[in-house]
A and B are shown apart, each in its own frame.
Chain A
């Protein structure tokens, strides 16, 4: 009954700075990490290392991009890891027919899962968490069934592996693909009515519906896109490692969520950035890379499992910062 009215007027300067840090913190952290690596390790900024990091992380970047849009509407997509595994198996099975057929097949498998997610969430009004948990299990099972529970070798004659292993103008092809999608996504988010609607739904879904925005259509589209991008990530996985991997993709959804959150996108929806999500992916990816370099120096020998610990700590720090700095009024 009694409305508490939030204080209005100009924000304090310190608060503005804090807000900025909360939003661009990931870029700053990425820059610091790059600087640290460049100073400490000889070949860190070498072409080979950069190319390796980008090639490997482009899969995660694609999955995180889809996740970013889902989260901006206030939803979640837990099925992306299994969907990528399914996509890799389908692509590997179709790889003898060429790179185009293999790619389309893998992406199509992802779109099917995304379509199912979208329909269940918008038509049956089941919570995204439950819906995508169920399709995560189903997609994983389908991948194992199709592959008969073993990795499926891709055809090397058809040129399918070029997609994941090849270069174009000295840049890894997967990184180019991911880059193109990030540019498109950024344009969609910032310049189109669809992008504005995505943020509006996450910000206040009731208000969006009362404004006549087609909330269900847009929500369907983000799940469809997330599925399709996960399928594409699976295609790159198969192409890069020469095999469809039915048991890969475990935990990818959590890595994607972590990247999105580190990038400053609110899990409650309504606020988000495509560029910061990419920075989040690279930040978490570089932690692994730097660990390898550190071991290479020969002074210490940290197990690869440390990367998870460090990534976890990063995630916690960012979430705590977000909670404490960005929204002091609420």
Chain B
């Protein structure tokens, strides 16, 4: 048994009464690369932010390097030997590499900055990673991978014993990932421990020794990477027992969709869609009145695909056909005019208008239809608002209550109503039940079911397996920007979907491992 460097025991933390962590634990050995994985909301970020002093824990105990560790600020954590490399590199782009490395522990002589000593120091730190750059150049002259090396050098300069890397590879290409992994192995050889957070499973297997899997604010499993198959890892992440498949844990009814055979073109057909870094080759189709599930791990390109279909991002290749005709919306307004709706994943970021009322939030999309010569017909508006508040069971003090005062579930209902009121042909729902309580979740699921029965076609993106398995007529699985599998409702099983999510093409693995 190796020496333990960090031990976080029974850590709990709640935000506004909602627990984010309940008695979670994490133990890191000296000189170990440890993967930390989990779904969105599993508690990884909270755990790391407590360790690095951004949040204070409510309960629990942290031992680091043989002593109790309880810091109040990220600066204190850094001084204590824990450094964090963020996904978005947070260094100062206009200042030199040396300044970035030495910022906060500048070398001085007679009270003035000792530039030669700092350049020398920076050069020595960088040289450990076999890269040779001019440390007097501004940071922004270098590519992302090099900047990451510089960030790591800075961490080492602070004599870090533990380096936390939060999705460090998300903006790197394959070759750069190889370089980063070399650096991680170098760190390990020097006895520095690394916590590695990533959603790319192949990478975890390449570089990590052990893994801790988090779910619903708890650590559900810690194991050596070698003892865990990808399937087992995903199963633990999603909270599924591979052997046991339970039916009907959601409020979706039985899907008994009958395909109308006939010459009719599919409602939506997506072929070889390519856009940005996340959507590489996506193919799927949907028929009128169908609920299609898009499954995949975080970063698989599901949301990005939806944004392209909705005209918010532009495609770089491939074809989208709506009712058999090529469909290229320039912006969401085009897509809405064509009968689409899009309920986005992050309510706060691009869903609600917080300072506007429930009624306003519900009717903004409809305004052009509710206005005569630009003047809003308040009577018609009030009627629609009243109808949908009643139909969806939105709990609010009245249509004029500000939407930010509502609970997450009720906000989501208002957003659903916003689109249902436009009477769309195709509604895209991105994580329709994320972050809302169990009761509201069931209501929204049965609502989606009822809408589809009335003939609405739904494209549902969900990270919850039950939701896509029980809710969808067919499911397409995306993996790193490619559609890799299609399942009809009768063939759906959690195991099959997880297998498709986890399956890695040999070529990808080989390319990554070559580093």
A contacts, CB < 8 Å to B: 1-11, 191-194, 196-197, 199-200, 203-204, 206-214, 270-271, 329
Contacts and interface: CB of A to CB of B under 8 A. Distances in A.
A3 B374 contact: no
A210 B344 contact: yes
Interface stretch (B249-257, B330-338, B469-477): B330-338
A8 B403 CA distance: 10
A192 B370 CA distance: 10
A285 to B, nearest CB: 29
Interface in B14-66: 15-16, 18, 20, 40-46
A4 B16 CA distance: 7
A124 to B, nearest CB: 17
Of B348, B351, B364, most buried by chain A (CB within 10 Å of CB) is B364
A271 B312 CA distance: 26
A8 B401 CA distance: 11
Given A5-B15, A200-B353, A212 B43 contact: no
A271 B355 contact: yes
Contacts of B20: 2
B323 interface: no
Given A204-B354, A209-B332, A2 B374 contact: no
Nearest to B437: A5
Of A9, A193, A194, most buried by chain B (CB within 10 Å of CB) is A193
A178 B435 CA distance: 49
7 contacts: A193-B368, A203-B353, A207-B353, A208-B364, A210-B344, A212-B333, A212-B337
A191 B378 CA distance: 8
A312 B197 CA distance: 50
A5 B353 CA distance: 16
Given A192-B374, A196-B376, A209-B331, A1 B364 contact: no
Contacts of A214: 333
B404 interface: yes
Nearest to A211: B365
Of B310, B404, B418, most buried by chain A (CB within 10 Å of CB) is B404
Given A1-B41, A10-B397, A271-B355, A193 B332 contact: no
Nearest to A214: B333
B371 A192 contact: yes
Nearest to B369: A193
Contacts of B354: 203-204, 270
B394 to A, nearest CB: 13
Contacts of A209: 312, 331-332
Contacts of B16: 4-7
Given A5-B408, A203-B356, A196 B367 contact: yes
A309 B395 CA distance: 48
A197 B310 CA distance: 20
B356 A199 contact: yes
Nearest to A187: B375
Interface string B430-447: 000001000000000000
Given A4-B15, A270-B353, A213 B41 contact: no
A10 B407 CA distance: 12
B485 interface: no
Interface in B234-248: none
B405 interface: yes
Given A206-B349, A207-B350, A2 B15 contact: yes
A157 B8 CA distance: 87
A54 to B, nearest CB: 30
A212 B336 contact: yes
Nearest to B336: A212
B179 interface: no
A28 B354 CA distance: 27
A162 to B, nearest CB: 33
